[in-house]
Amino acid sequence: MDLAGWTPIYTYFAAGRPVLDCCYTGARRFTEPFFGDTIDRLCRDPAVMLFRRQAPLDRAAEWIRLHPGLPPTGFIFHMSRCGSTLVARMLGSIPSNRVLSEPTALNGVLRAALLDSSLPREAHRERLRAVVNLLGVPLPGETRYFLKLDCWHVLALPLFVEAFPGVPWVFLHRDPSEVLVSQVRSAGAWSIPGALEPEVFGLRHTDTLPRPDYLARVLARFCDAAHRDRALGRGLLAAYEDLPDFALGPLLNHFGLSFTPAELELMRTAARDNAKTPALPFSDDRANKRDALTPALRALVDRWLAPACARLQSH
């Protein structure tokens, strides 16, 4: 099996075995704000859609052992809507950096790791290593590899630390009222009913919650996970208010990076754009989000999110 030029985009299970659904990406860099944006662009070509490839994860793992990718340089975790896409865009502005933002191929193995306790822990670690390494096969000139994870992936932070000991990670957070308003306005894919089982978030199928209440509780879980596991490995917590300067100084130091003045200028230039819509300039929306906080949402913040964020910031 030759997987050169093929990128895993989904992981599904057939007869209990993980299988990768791969798309041919060739020499295409992942320069869009999200991994899925790049895949969507590629899939506009009918040939790309037609000639997808399915590979059992164990066979793909054998291939990657013979053709190793880049070791991860750093992991970026976050509570959602708190500047992680900006950090990824700034790092990705440097051509030698391979930056994948929320790669969907990780979802299947992480969901299984959080829900399936019947499998030995080492098996979950091996699955995670295989997918991360397959995603890290570099294009010419790429020498560093960063993963910006989806927000719910922080629930599996210990697994990342076990699978990749020594790899530094950061967790970004933000004023919880601003995050909740953003999610209520436009909820993330992870919160769509049926996308992920409530048990992933420590809730139950029998829990019947209004959508804002569900969002508040789950966002609090992300902060609690980062607080609980903050001492694992080489972690660092950072606030949205400290961006973009955090990405130009403390983050680089934490990840052991040293960029040239020209590379730092590329990062500064990227920070001037709207991270999710780069054609538009960045506009500070914090006041707008705080003004949109209704009394009902404020009550949810006070009950669930504010205590979780307070614990997180008490480190």
**DSSP track, 262-297:** HHHHHHHHHHTB-SSSTTSB----HHHHHHT--HHH
Long-range contacts of 280-287 (CB under 8 A, 24+ apart): 286/175, 286/178
Q: Which tokens hold the place of 103?
A: 């790669």
Q: Which tokens hold the place of 67?
A: 């053709």
Decide if 105 contacts 11 (C-beta within 8 A): yes
pLDDT per residue as tens, the chain (315 positions) = 799 999 999 999 999 899 999 999 999 999 999 999 999 999 888 878 778 999 999 999 999 999 999 999 999 999 999 999 999 999 999 999 999 999 999 999 999 999 999 999 999 999 999 999 999 999 999 999 999 999 999 999 999 999 999 999 999 999 999 999 999 999 999 988 778 999 999 988 767 889 999 999 999 999 999 999 999 999 999 999 999 999 999 999 999 999 999 999 999 999 999 999 999 999 999 999 999 999 999 999 999 999 999 999 886
Q: What is the pLDDT of residues 221-240, one digit of tens each?
A: 999 999 999 999 999 999 99
Ordered by start, the domain boundaries in the chain are 6-313
Instruction: Just give the CATH number of 6-313.
Output: 3.40.50
**pTM for the complete prediction?**
0.97
